[in-house]
């Protein structure tokens, strides 16, 4: 068992150190590798509004267990993994956000399925920060066009961007890439204009502070809480 509440407090303190409006930062607790007991301990604190999962069926199974089912409808549930097109329907029935929209083809399938289910799904466009083929995301060059295309889809409520940084021994090295994503974010999403809360989801356990300094308001934290 881990001390999830202690760990969360450390994460919150780290955010406060580098951010003057820390109350605007909302943490996604990434529960994909965590024990249900530890998750329950964390949720009882009432400090976490968002959870993230990267596999559709595993998430549905977990959040329907006796221990966690009471929290299911109170949380905003984010899908943060690679979404296979044949799992879109199931994902839409369970998740509140798809944070990994990385192609027009996937967006169109999500839009169509959401229409069939009579719902609007919140989404983020995922930006790719490495050249590696194994990682999802639209390239920095393609992101602007994808944002414009997804904004036109009527059953998708596009609320920002997500990016997964490559593993870096020194998180400082990620700063230039984060700045590029922030620039695209600022160009396309303006909360003052339409009064919606937009999300820039950068940063995980190892690069949290750099990501927050560069404007992330939705870091995704697994290990630092549950590890
Ligand atoms: C697993 C995962 C995380 C959490 O990473 P930690 O290093 O455990 O904080 C964040 N984002 C995505 C997309 C993930 O798959």
pLDDT at 223: 97
- pLDDT for the residue numbered 67: 96
Which CATH architecture group holds 4-226? Alpha-Beta Barrel (3.20)
Q: Among 34, 156, 26, which residue's Cα sits nearest to residue 95?
A: 156
The residues near 124 (Cβ < 8 Å, ≥ 6 apart) are 97, 98, 99, 100, 101, 158, 159, 160, 161, 162, 199, 201
CA-nearest residue for atom 4, ligand 1, is 222
Annotated domain spans of the chain: 4-226
Question: Of ligand 1's atoms, which has the minimum distance to the CA of residue 30?
Answer: 4
Question: Looking at the predicted structure, is the pLDDT value of residue 92 above 90?
Answer: yes
Phi, psi of 181 (to 5 degrees): -65, -40
Determine the pLDDT at residue 172. 95
pLDDT tens for each residue of 129-183: 987 777 789 999 999 999 999 999 999 999 999 999 988 889 999 999 999 999 9
pTM, rounded to two decimals = 0.97
Q: Which residues contact 13 (CB under 8 A, 6 or more apart)?
A: none
| Candidate of 220, 223, 224, 225 to mutate for ligand 1, largest count of ligand atoms within 8 Å of Cβ | 220
Instruction: Determine the pLDDT at residue 133.
Output: 72
């Amino acid at each position: 068992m881990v001390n999830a509440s202690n760990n969360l407090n450390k994460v919150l303190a780290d955010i406060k150190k580098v951010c003057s409006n820390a109350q605007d930062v909302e943490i996604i607790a990434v529960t994909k590798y965590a024990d249900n007991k530890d998750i329950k301990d964390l949720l009882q604190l009432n400090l976490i509004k968002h959870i993230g999962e990267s596999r559709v069926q595993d998430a549905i199974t977990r959040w329907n267990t006796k221990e966690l089912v009471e929290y299911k409808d109170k949380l905003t549930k984010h899908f943060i993994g690679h979404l296979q097109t044949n799992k879109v329907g199931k994902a839409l029935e369970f998740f509140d956000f798809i944070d990994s929209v990385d192609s027009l083809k996937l967006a169109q399938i999500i839009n169509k399925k959401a229409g069939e289910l009579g719902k609007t799904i919140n989404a983020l466009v995922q930006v790719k920060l490495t050249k590696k083929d194994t990682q999802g995301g639209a390239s920095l060059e393609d992101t602007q066009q994808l944002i414009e295309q997804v904004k036109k889809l009527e059953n998708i409520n596009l609320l920002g961007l997500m990016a997964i940084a490559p593993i870096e021994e020194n998180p400082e090295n990620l700063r230039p890439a984060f700045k590029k994503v922030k620039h695209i974010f600022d160009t396309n999403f303006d909360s003052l204009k339409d009064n919606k809360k937009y999300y820039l989801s950068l940063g995980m356990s190892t690069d949290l502070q750099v990501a927050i300094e560069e404007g992330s308001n939705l870091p995704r934290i697994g290990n630092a809480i549950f590890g």
